[in-house]
């Protein structure tokens, strides 16, 4: 199957749902990204800062670049001029650095709070307690160049539907709790980024608004 066919298949699946497709382009050469763009994809996800920064000037300006992998604060400066959304906000330090670097360009960067929902302890993310402490802090109230637009999570890599769906449900409950308590009047806080090639159907069933799909579109990463 070609990249274009695969993207068309995903778009057809998402038609009539509230969810959008993040095409995960990490490790793939620029020609594959151009194919995806030609097929209509506009949201691209990368997990390495240098790779995203190298690809960004090669594609049209209306691509929304999403950082989906862990982001070190000392690398924020390489993406602050163009990144649309950082999906992997997992610390107060990172949030403050994003604000500082975005201010230099007079921009507002969207951010998702990443939560630890998987059983595997290798996957990073905040706990609800940590996120609430952050949202209640005076520092957070002062930020003008980062706009929180939702939450993100990575489920356990497992064929166990009940387990994986339970984790997605937990993320959705976290979203709803935060929405009601801190963002009730903020229309922009609306994203639940969950679901990858192996589990996006379960994520959609649990209310995902952004699925992040790589290998189901491009084949496996070499
Ligand atoms: C690589 C990656 C994806 C896409 O994974 P696939 O299994 O190739 O669809 C999604 N989310 C994150 C955070 C990733 O790092």
Question: pLDDT tens digit string along 16-52?
Answer: 899 999 999 999 999 999 999 999 999 999 999 999 9
What b/e string do you get for 67-89 counting C-beta neighbours within 10 Å, with b at 16 or more? Answer: bbbbbeeebbebbbebbbbbbbb
Residue 159, number of CB atoms within 10 A of its CB:
8
Tokens of 175: 């979203």
Residue 31, number of CB atoms within 10 A of its CB:
10
Residues with CB under 6 A from ligand 1: 24, 26, 47, 68-69, 154, 196-198, 212-216
Domain 3-217 carries which CATH code? 3.20.20.10
Hey, where are the domains in the chain? 3-217
Tokens of 109: 């960067």
Contacts of 199 (CB under 8 A, 6+ apart): 155, 164, 168
Strand partners, 192: 151
pTM: 0.97
The protein residue whose alpha carbon is closest to atom 15 in ligand 1 is 69
Report the residue among 23, 41, 46, 212 best suited for mutation to probe ligand 1: largest number of ligand atoms under 8 A from its CB.
212
Give me the percent of the chain exceeding a pLDDT of 70: 99
- In this predicted structure, what is the pLDDT of residue 170? 98
């Amino acid at each position: 199957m070609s990249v274009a066919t695969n993207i068309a298949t995903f778009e057809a699946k998402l038609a009539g749902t509230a969810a959008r497709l993040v095409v995960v382009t990490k490790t793939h050469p620029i020609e594959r990204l151009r194919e995806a763009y030609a097929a209509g994809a506009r949201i691209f996800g990368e997990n390495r800062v240098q790779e995203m920064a190298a690809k960004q000037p090669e594609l049209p300006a209306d691509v929304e670049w999403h950082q989906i992998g862990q982001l070190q604060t000392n690398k924020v400066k390489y993406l602050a001029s163009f990144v649309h959304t950082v999906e992997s906000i997992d610390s107060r330090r990172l949030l403050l650095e994003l604000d500082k670097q975005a201010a230099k360009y007079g921009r507002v960067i969207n951010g998702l709070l990443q939560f630890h929902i998987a059983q595997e302890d290798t996957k990073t993310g905040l706990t609800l307690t940590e996120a609430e402490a952050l949202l209640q802090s005076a520092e957070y109230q002062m930020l003008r160049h980062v706009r929180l637009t939702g939450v993100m999570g990575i489920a356990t890599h497992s064929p166990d539907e009940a387990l994986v769906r339970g984790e997605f449900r937990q993320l959705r409950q976290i979203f709803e709790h935060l929405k009601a308590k801190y963002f009730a009047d903020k229309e922009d806080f609306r994203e639940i980024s969950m679901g990858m090639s192996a589990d996006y159907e379960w994520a959609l069933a649990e209310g995902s608004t952004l699925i992040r799909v790589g290998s189901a579109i491009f084949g496996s990463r070499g």
